[in-house]
Structure 1
Amino acid sequence: MNHFRQLDGIRFLAVGMVLFDHWMVGRVDGLPLGALGVTIFFVLSGFLITRILLSSKDKLSNQPQGGLGKYLKTFYIRRTLRIFPIYYITLFVLYLINEPPVRRTIGWLALYGTNIYIASHQTWMGTVDHLWSLAVEEQVYLIFPLLLFFIPRRFIPITAMLMIVGSVALRYVLYRLRLPWFIEYVSTPTCLDSFGLGALMAYGWLYRRDWLVRIFTPSIGVWLSVLVFAAVVYLNNWISIDSPRGYHNVVSEVWERLFASLIGFFLIGHAIIGFKGPMKWLLEHPISQYMGRISYGLYLFHNFVFNAFHTQPTHFTLRAWRRLSDLMPFLNSSYFFSFSFYLSLTIILATLSWYLIEKPINDLKDRYAY
């Protein structure tokens, strides 16, 4: 499977939005960069896994039962090698050092049920909050392989469209039921419009390349989607002033993710064709490429390094920061310095994770080629 170089740059942009949003709480309000970054990851996952699964299905179609056994075996072995090791090592370490939410909900975390816990208990989970999105990804991985294998190729576009429409409709139903906003935010069925758009893109890449090139070669789609999303965010902030539900009104709960998904759709679509000019420089810069490569570790670790809502004053990162700033008092003059400290720690952890654990295990995937 050919590698799209600029998609590593997209990963860097997406994880950068998440880190910026989570560490700038109270300093940048009303700008949902974290949600946008996660949504872009969902669209990207929808594109990549659909492209992989459909290509594998086509390749194995002449085997008995369409090669279902090898199709599933190869996909799940490769996903397991990529995702599970560092995830479970992280949980194990956090359990040993007695991270409260990990100790309290280890069963849910181990089974990738974080989002189900949040929705069913109607509460967030502290420093493991961000793992809800990884749970969504894993739950989609359980559904997509069989869905794409048994649906005839010609019905894939309509299936993707039903995912998009159904997801938006379900968010509206949950909003009308007046359930806590985060239930619709973390539930897998309400995230499927992002994956559906990614699946449409993969279908176009594999079977309607001329259609895809016509849509994504002009950059107008990227900039229009950004402008529309900005307008939606502005509208949401304006409505929230008088809305009894505040920021979490019908615009943010029902429509914001769809328009964020459209940014991901056009951004990723243009990246697989290939950006030119400044965006090409940004996405293909060695720093962007490297940060995109270690983005899984960056996302996994960042909330444990620092979380504005849940990190206690006795946490090791805050103790280390206080000692450092006591030695160099000027570091307290700007939040930029503490932000840089958290970022440096996260990059160091993600780098160690990549070279010591993820890359060596990831290289084993070559034994299980599609």
Structure 2
Amino acid sequence: MSLLGATRIPGANRSIELDFIRGIAIIAVMGTHFHSFPTGSAVIAAIEYPLKSFGLEGVNLFFTLSGFLVGGLLLKQYAQEGRIDATRFIVRRIFKIWPAYYVLILFHVLAGRHPLDSFLVQNLTHTQNYFGSSIAQTWSLAVEEHFYLFLPLLLIVLARFRTRVDTLLMVLGSVCVAVLIARCIAVHHGLLDETAFYTQYRIDSLLFGVMLAALYWMKPAAYRAIAGRKGLLLTIVAGLVLWLVFGTRNVPLDRSIGYTIQAIGFCAFIVLTVEYSKSIRDTKLYRLVGWIGVYSYGIYLWHSLALAPADMLIRKATALHVPAIPAWAAIMVAQFVIAIVLGYVMTRAVEFPFLKIRNALFPDKRKASSIEDATRVAS
């Protein structure tokens, strides 16, 4: 199954395969952040393990998928016209990202849940990944904002020299190697938090996705050769799973070479999903995860508001001596429901209306193609 034939969610020009990937990522993020009721049960601990262990890895998956999709938006124009309309690209990204983001910031200003000096300036200037923010989940949005500026500028420079695709891939690969080296040096000096959050140490996770997009748009034969090797893709994804289970336990190792291993594995996972998930994409679970993925940005922004109700339920369950396992299940379900409902409502109320305004004021002028149809609403 190819992106060229990706299934559409009724009523929207989206690829359910890509939304399934988003859904996997946001479920990992939610599961890690949500509060849990202690049960002492080995079965519950086994169920919790994948939910509670891979939140940062879910963000890494978002990064690589964003690089693939957003890079594709630019590289399609680069391939067709030999130029980059950076201004139009940035304006369209602003309409996609900023309205929902600044509504969240305004909410926290008005709600008074956090001191203003703990988040406001940092989030308004998109420097929260460097200076910290009490709205903790927004750090990754700063990395993506910096990426949205860096990539068009890089492609503009390359377009001026009429750079061929092999040279483009070499340049992107060289940047990834430089980031890896810088990250290893930083880890050697004990800068573990910096390597997790600073843009200069994280941008390669997005650039791997851009390189995948370059293959898709500019070297389709090479992409097809890779996509056709299902066994190799499965092997890489299996290696990724092993790394997630065992390698991430060594924090210095994971925050040096681990992010590179994850980016490569996530590229394979993206190709494997969009090319080979036809046999399961009509299952209820697949479509549910894909539906959650449609609202993943809104869920990511607002899911932390589910934590306070969870704490209240934990206190109530403890005071009333509710059996541990039913209490655990009810509290976890409540958090997922609250976060998903909030994400759904805010996406429908803010993000989607602004996308309609964007498309009316700054319509996509590129030639129609399937992958653009699949990403237009989401990108």
TM-score scaled to structure 2, two decimals?
0.80
Structure 1 residue 74: Cα displacement:
1.7
RMSD of equivalent CA atoms = 2.9
- Distance change (3 Å), C-alpha of 1:42 and 1:101: farther
Q: Retained in 2: the 8 A contact 1:21–1:34? A: yes
What is the rounded CA distance, in whole Å, between the counterparts of 2:94 and 2:270 in structure 1?
Answer: 25
Q: What is the match of residue 296 of structure 2?
A: 295
Corresponding residue pairs, total: 337
- Distance change (3 Å), C-alpha of 1:283 and 1:109: farther
Q: What is the match of residue 311 of structure 1?
A: none
**What are structure 1's unaligned runs of at least 5 residues?**
119-124, 241-246, 307-314
**What are structure 2's unaligned runs of at least 5 residues?**
5-13, 39-44, 366-379
Task: Name the stretch that deviates more: 222-231 or 46-55.
Answer: 222-231
Q: What is the match of residue 54 of structure 2?
A: 33
Q: What is the match of residue 71 of structure 2?
A: 50
Q: Retained in 2: the 8 A contact 1:54–1:149? A: no
Structure 1 residue 12: Cα displacement:
0.5
Q: What is the match of residue 337 of structure 2?
A: 344
What aligned pairs does 1:347-366 form with structure 2 within 5 A after superposition?
347-366=340-359
Q: What is the match of residue 191 of structure 1?
A: 202
- Distance change (3 Å), C-alpha of 1:110 and 1:302: same
Q: Retained in 1: the 8 A contact 2:304–2:339? A: no
- Distance change (3 Å), C-alpha of 1:292 and 1:330: same
Structure 1 residue 182: Cα displacement:
1.2
Q: Retained in 1: the 8 A contact 2:310–2:331? A: no
Q: Retained in 2: the 8 A contact 1:217–1:270? A: no
What aligned pairs does 1:153-172 form with structure 2 within 5 A after superposition?
153-154=164-165, 155-172=167-184
- Distance change (3 Å), C-alpha of 1:177 and 1:321: closer
SS at structure 1 position matched to 2:17: helix
SS at structure 2 position matched to 1:277: coil
What is the rounded CA distance, in whole Å, between the counterparts of 2:243 and 2:300 in structure 1?
Answer: 26
Structure 1 residue 273: Cα displacement:
3.1
- Please say if 1:173 is aligned against 2:173: no
In structure 2, give the amino acid aligned to 1:358.
E
Please list the CA deviations of residues 232-271 of structure 1 after superposition, one character each: whole Å capped at 9, or x if unmatched: 345547xx6xxxxxx423x222122112112210111233
- Distance change (3 Å), C-alpha of 1:207 and 1:343: same
Which of 267, 271, 274 is the equivalent residue of 2:273? Answer: 271
Q: What is the match of residue 33 of structure 2?
A: 22
In structure 2, give the amino acid aligned to 1:107.
V
In structure 1, give the amino acid aligned to 2:179.
S
Structure 1 residue 104: Cα displacement:
2.4
- Distance change (3 Å), C-alpha of 1:85 and 1:227: same
Q: What is the match of residue 251 of structure 2?
A: 248
- Distance change (3 Å), C-alpha of 1:226 and 1:271: closer
In structure 2, give the amino acid aligned to 1:363.
K
Q: Retained in 2: the 8 A contact 1:213–1:273? A: no
- Distance change (3 Å), C-alpha of 1:232 and 1:351: closer
Amino-acid identity (%): 20
What is the rounded CA distance, in whole Å, between the counterparts of 2:245 and 2:354 in structure 1?
Answer: 44
Q: What is the match of residue 108 of structure 1?
A: 122
Q: What is the match of residue 140 of structure 2?
A: 133
What is the rounded CA distance, in whole Å, between the counterparts of 2:204 and 2:112 in structure 1?
Answer: 37
What aligned pairs does 1:319-330 form with structure 2 within 5 A after superposition?
319=312, 329=322
Structure 1 residue 282: Cα displacement:
5.5
- Please say if 1:143 is aligned against 2:150: yes
What is the rounded CA distance, in whole Å, between the counterparts of 1:87 and 1:204 in structure 2?
Answer: 32
What is the rounded CA distance, in whole Å, between the counterparts of 2:98 and 2:157 in structure 1?
Answer: 27
- Distance change (3 Å), C-alpha of 1:86 and 1:235: closer
What is the rounded CA distance, in whole Å, between the counterparts of 2:316 and 2:207 in structure 1?
Answer: 48
Which of 100, 117, 129 is the equivalent residue of 2:131? Answer: 117
What is the rounded CA distance, in whole Å, between the counterparts of 2:310 and 2:114 in structure 1?
Answer: 16
What is the rounded CA distance, in whole Å, between the counterparts of 1:193 and 1:81 in structure 2?
Answer: 25
